[in-house]
Structure 1
Amino acid sequence: MPLDPQLRAMLERAATVPAIPLSQLPPAVVRYGFLASILAWLGEDYEPLPLAEVREHTIDGAVPVRIYRPDATTPSLPVVAFAHAGGWVLGDLETHDEVCRHLSHALPAVVVAVDYRRAPEHPYPAAIDDYWAAVCWLAGHAAELGGDAGRLAVIGDSAGGNLAAAAALRAREAGGPRIAVQALAYPTVDATLDCGAQEGGSYLTCGEGYGLTLSMMRWFVDSYLPDPADRTASDASPLFADLSGLPPAIVATAEYDPLRTEGERYAHRLARAGVAVTHLELDGLVHGFLYQTRISHAADRAREAFIGAVREALGSRLGDLTEARA
């Protein structure tokens, strides 16, 4: 399918600005640029979606989170631990505030966005350790937040999808907490970067010109995983892990995303391991559609499809999510 015209226009505008390699800039500057881009895409007329409650909290004095509650009266809502995108280097509670507000309202659910430590100041395993701490805390405190620990979802996009997948693996190994669904939007699951670089892979077909690039991914991985020996660990590259016994999964991939091949491969491997998996293959889109919805109608439809799949999973018994399209 051709690239969505609205996203093509976005990429063409971006191409008119001279690009400086990320490795030549301080991380703080790149982080500011990422936030500025998302705010620009939201537009000057953007107004945050009002919810019953949005508040800050710090878990055990160490991990900052933002808690979103859509309804002050409805008890036992599903609960979501959300991990943001940004290559483990960029992103924060502000870059994904709109996404989390919408998730909370649309599911509906109590959403806990995790402000995990970022590389290169805090390399692996700092990000997954922080996210895992938040998942465990949420499971233990769901009731006091008005949530149902029996409907706990781990959700993330890109590097956040990596953390959500890794948390599902940790929960299996630790014997809990019980996760109802892992929902991964355009996840990075191969920190070696090898999968998408093979013949016909998306690093070769989409590694330049579509926003996220192969060179950017190399910088992200070098920042988060400076020791190459760590890059095949299961919580760095879930693609290489034993995937049996994991909770039902939703994996969304975008046609023009450098991470498409590894996401597709992960959905295949989950299905072969006997995991119930819904694979949303989203045509005409690029990396980042969860936060591109105000500049692209196609991205907006894709986000609603992703949320709809999560809603269906959380509204069903665990054994009912049996669709496997891989």
Structure 2
Amino acid sequence: MPLDLQIRAMLERAAAAPAIPLSQLPPAVVRDGFRASILASLGEGYEPLPLAEVRDHTIDGSVPVRIYRPRTEATSIPVVAFSHAGGWVLGDLETHDEVCRHLSRSLPAVVVAVDYRLAPEHPYPAAVDDYWTAVCWLAEHAADFGGDADRLAVIGDSAGGNLAAAAALRAREAGGPPIAVQALAYPTVDATLEYGTRPGGSYTTCGEGYGLTLSTMRWFVDCYLPDPAARIVPDASPLLVDDLSGLPPAIVATAEYDPLRSEGAHYAHRLAQAGVTVTHLDLDGLVHGFLYQTRVSRSADRAREAFVDAVREALGARLDDSTEVRA
């Protein structure tokens, strides 16, 4: 399908702006630019979606999180550990605040967003260790927020999807905590970048001109995984794990013009081959990052709703009359 026209216009505006390769800039400068671009995409007059509670917390004095609790009359609702995008280098609680508010109210669920440590200052395994700490803490403390630990979801987009997939693998190996669903939006699941760079792979067809580029992904991987030997371990490259059986049900969303599409689609295929229940949302006309492009593109908005609907169904969540889905 052709690239969504609103997305195309967004990409053309970005391409017209002067750009310096990310590798030539200090990470702090790149982070500031990423945050500014995400917040600008929300548009003038943006007002955060109101919830029953939004508060910051620190787990064990070391892992900052933000807890979102929706307005609902349900006495026990699902809980979500959310990990944000940004190549393990960019992103924070502010860049994905709008996404987390939407997830909390639309599922509805208690959402805990994890402000994991970023590379290159904190290379692998800092990010996945922080996220795993938050997942285990949420499983233990779900009831404190009116949450149901038996309906625990790990959700992330891009590099955050990598962390969510890694947490599902860790939980399988550790014998818990039990995870009800892993929901991965355009995930990074092959830190070697080899699968998508094969002939016909999405790095070869979409590695330039669609926002996220192959050169940017190489920079992200170099920052987070400077040791090439670490790029093949399960926590870094879930796609390379020999046995994917026994993992929780998965939702994998991929975008047609995303350089990560090939690896995400193949991961969904391999999970299904291993007997895992999989919902693969292969979304036409979109690019990487559609979860936070909903105010730019109506197609991205519909894609996010499809992703949320799939998570809600997997969790057995129910909207009650007091829950307003849309802003």
TM-score range (shorter-chain normalised) is over 0.9
Corresponding residue of 1:98:
98
Q: Does 1:37 align with 2:55?
A: no
Q: Secondary structure at the match of 2:153?
A: strand
Runs of 4+ in 1 over 6 A off after TM superposition: none
Q: Secondary structure at the match of 2:178?
A: coil
Q: How far off its partner does 1:40 sit?
A: 1.1
Q: Pairwise mapping of residues 1-326 of structure 1 onto structure 2 (< 5 A)?
A: 1-71=1-71, 73-241=73-241, 242-315=243-316
Q: Is the 8 A contact 2:158 2:186 kept in 1?
A: yes
- Once residues 75 and 81 of structure 2 are traced to their aligned partners in structure 1, the CA distance between those partners, rounded to angstroms, is 18
Q: How far off its partner does 1:71 sit?
A: 2.1
Q: How far off its partner does 1:20 sit?
A: 0.7
Identity, % of aligned pairs?
83
Q: How far off its partner does 1:75 sit?
A: 1.8
Q: Is the 8 A contact 2:183 2:252 kept in 1?
A: yes
Q: Secondary structure at the match of 2:282?
A: strand
- Once residues 158 and 48 of structure 1 are traced to their aligned partners in structure 2, the CA distance between those partners, rounded to angstroms, is 23
Q: Is the 8 A contact 2:72 2:108 kept in 1?
A: no
What CA deviation, in whole Å up to 9, does each residue of 1:167-187 have, x standing for no partner? 000000000000000000000
Amino acid at match of 2:217: M
Q: How far off its partner does 1:45 sit?
A: 1.3
Q: Is the 8 A contact 1:53 1:72 kept in 2?
A: no
The normalised TM-score by structure 2 is 0.96
Q: How far off its partner does 1:72 sit?
A: 6.2
- Once residues 192 and 75 of structure 2 are traced to their aligned partners in structure 1, the CA distance between those partners, rounded to angstroms, is 43
- Once residues 137 and 232 of structure 1 are traced to their aligned partners in structure 2, the CA distance between those partners, rounded to angstroms, is 27
Q: Is the 8 A contact 1:4 1:284 kept in 2?
A: yes
- Once residues 146 and 97 of structure 1 are traced to their aligned partners in structure 2, the CA distance between those partners, rounded to angstroms, is 21
Amino acid at match of 2:94: E
- Once residues 64 and 15 of structure 1 are traced to their aligned partners in structure 2, the CA distance between those partners, rounded to angstroms, is 35
Amino acid at match of 2:230: D
- Once residues 72 and 283 of structure 1 are traced to their aligned partners in structure 2, the CA distance between those partners, rounded to angstroms, is 33
Q: How far off its partner does 1:24 sit?
A: 0.2
- Once residues 60 and 282 of structure 1 are traced to their aligned partners in structure 2, the CA distance between those partners, rounded to angstroms, is 39
What CA deviation, in whole Å up to 9, does each residue of 1:226-254 have, x standing for no partner? 00000000010000112110000000000
Cα RMSD of the aligned pairs, angstroms, is 0.7
Q: How far off its partner does 1:80 sit?
A: 0.0
What CA deviation, in whole Å up to 9, does each residue of 1:101-131 have, x standing for no partner? 0000000000000000000000000000000
More relative contact order, 1 or 2 (CA 8 Å, 6+ apart): 2
Amino acid at match of 1:292: Q
Amino acid at match of 1:198: R
- Once residues 71 and 16 of structure 1 are traced to their aligned partners in structure 2, the CA distance between those partners, rounded to angstroms, is 42
The normalised TM-score by structure 1 is 0.96
Moved more, 298-307 or 235-244: 235-244
Q: How far off its partner does 1:70 sit?
A: 0.3
Structure 1 runs not aligned, ≥5 long = 317-326
- Once residues 84 and 64 of structure 1 are traced to their aligned partners in structure 2, the CA distance between those partners, rounded to angstroms, is 13
Corresponding residue of 2:324:
none
Q: Is the 8 A contact 1:59 1:137 kept in 2?
A: yes
- Once residues 19 and 144 of structure 2 are traced to their aligned partners in structure 1, the CA distance between those partners, rounded to angstroms, is 47
- Once residues 75 and 89 of structure 2 are traced to their aligned partners in structure 1, the CA distance between those partners, rounded to angstroms, is 36
What CA deviation, in whole Å up to 9, does each residue of 1:256-286 have, x standing for no partner? 0000000011001000000000000000000
